[in-house]
Amino acid sequence: MKQESTYYAIIPASVRYDNTLTDSEKLLYGEITCLTHKTGKCFANNKYFANLYGVSKETISRRVSKLKKRGYITVMISYKPNSKEVDKRYIQIHHDPIDRNEDTPIDANVKDNNTSINNTSIIDENNYLENKGFKFYWDEFLATKKKKKASLKSIIIQRQFDKLIKMSKGDFKTACQILERTVNNGWIDFYESKEPFGAKKEEPVKIVVDLSKAKG
């Protein structure tokens, strides 16, 4: 999707005075704010920014990853139906950056997000929530978290959703099974299981002893 920067850039003080960011990363943040002005989303890919600033797509990907790591942006990815092929990527601005982890390394995968899956990005939930079965268990999962007074902050929920998709390796059916198992056990997070899905548990052997025939 082609976007044109026709609006002024906004670089808040939190970004301007963040000494962990380079001037180029701050400038990229400002460019993203220009492109999110009309729709709230920036659909420009790494190639667009690379051509704009005369650098490689890998360099842009590192800058995007750094802004994401610092909590200034969220990178959303949607996939083509029944495929791991990326359909769209868009970036949203965080006006209230949170949870900046200085020790978290930037993902080594710096390929263009429009042609490959970038593990540092969050998959668009809408593609999954359109399925009634998945949505039912997802709503039950959130209800369980609320009942147990677990955090329902959007950044936490996004990370858990991303964890679910990572555990299922992008397979929709497996994701549904993990979610169903989580809800049935009343868990507030997703855990790996040693037992394969669909495995039948052996029923315990019942031993009946006729005490009337026992010798007294």
pLDDT, tens only, 124-167: 555 677 777 788 888 889 889 888 888 887 777 778 888 888 88
Find out whether 197 and 171 touch, Cβ atoms under 8 Å.
no
pLDDT at 110 over 70: no
To the nearest 5 percent, what fractions of the chain are helix, strand and coil?
40, 10, 50
When comparing pLDDT for 68 and 122, which is higher?
68
What percentage of residues in the chain have a pLDDT greater than 70?
69
Tell me what pLDDT residue 27 has. Answer: 93
Which residues have a Cβ under 8 Å from the Cβ of 109 and sit 6 or more positions away? 116, 118, 119, 120
* Strands, sheet with 86-93, edge to edge from the N-terminal-most edge strand: 86-93, 73-79, 122-123
User: How does pLDDT run across 32-58, given as a tens digit for each residue?
Assistant: 988 887 777 888 889 999 999 999 999
Query: Pairing state of beta strands 122-123 and 86-93?
Result: unpaired
User: What whole-number distance in Å separates Cα of residue 171 and Cα of residue 54?
Assistant: 37
| pTM, full prediction | 0.46
User: Which two tokens mark 57?
Assistant: 């797509």
95 pLDDT more than 50: yes
Which residues on adjacent β-strands are paired with residue 75? 91
The mean predicted confidence, pLDDT, of the chain is: 75
Does the structure show a pLDDT above 60 at 214?
no
Q: Give the largest CA-CA distance in the chain.
A: 98
Q: Which residues contact 73 (CB under 8 A, 6 or more apart)?
A: 29, 32, 64, 67, 91, 92, 93, 94
Q: Across the strands, what pairs with 90?
A: 76
Domain range list for the chain? 1-124, 125-197
Are 30 and 67 in contact, with CB atoms under 8 Å apart?
no
CA distance 21 to 99: 16
What is the predicted pLDDT for the residue at 6?
52
Mean pLDDT of 109-128: 46
CATH number for the region 1-124 comes to 1.10.10.10
Residues in the chain, how many?
A: 216
| CA separation for the pair 165, 162 (Å, rounded) | 5
pLDDT one-digit tens code per residue, 66-90: 998 888 888 887 777 777 777 778 8
Tally: H helices and E strands in the chain: 8, 3
